[in-house]
Amino acid sequence: MSYLNKSNLTVFWLAFIHISLLDLCLVDANGLVFLWAENLHWLTITVHLIIALLTTAFYNGCTYIKGVLVTQKQLS
């Protein structure tokens, strides 16, 4: 597996875990509330996967643009 594939997979899983953990708990007037049941709905998981995919695509686009800019700077 190439470095780019490994980094994309790492970004995807880190984003998915990060989003899921942030959505897992809520702080209200009574204190910390864990939303276990709500987090296990298929729609919630689907939304988390879509957000992680979009985050990975944004990361991939930014690294591509950075690579193009660095290459142009080295050529000039």
**Strand intervals (E) in 2-54:** 25-28, 31-34
Residue 74: pLDDT band (50, 70, 90) is: confident
What are the residue boundaries of the structural domains of the chain, listed by start? 3-75
* Per-residue confidence (pLDDT) for residue 52, from 0 to 100: 97
Backbone angles phi, psi at 32, to 5 degrees: -80, 130
* 3-state SS class at 66: helix
Residue 1: pLDDT band (50, 70, 90) is: low
Q: Mind listing the pLDDT tens digit for each residue in 22-42?
A: 999 888 898 888 888 888 899
Among 8-12, 28-32, 53-57, the least confident range: 28-32
Prediction pTM value: 0.80
Q: What is the mean pLDDT of the chain?
A: 89
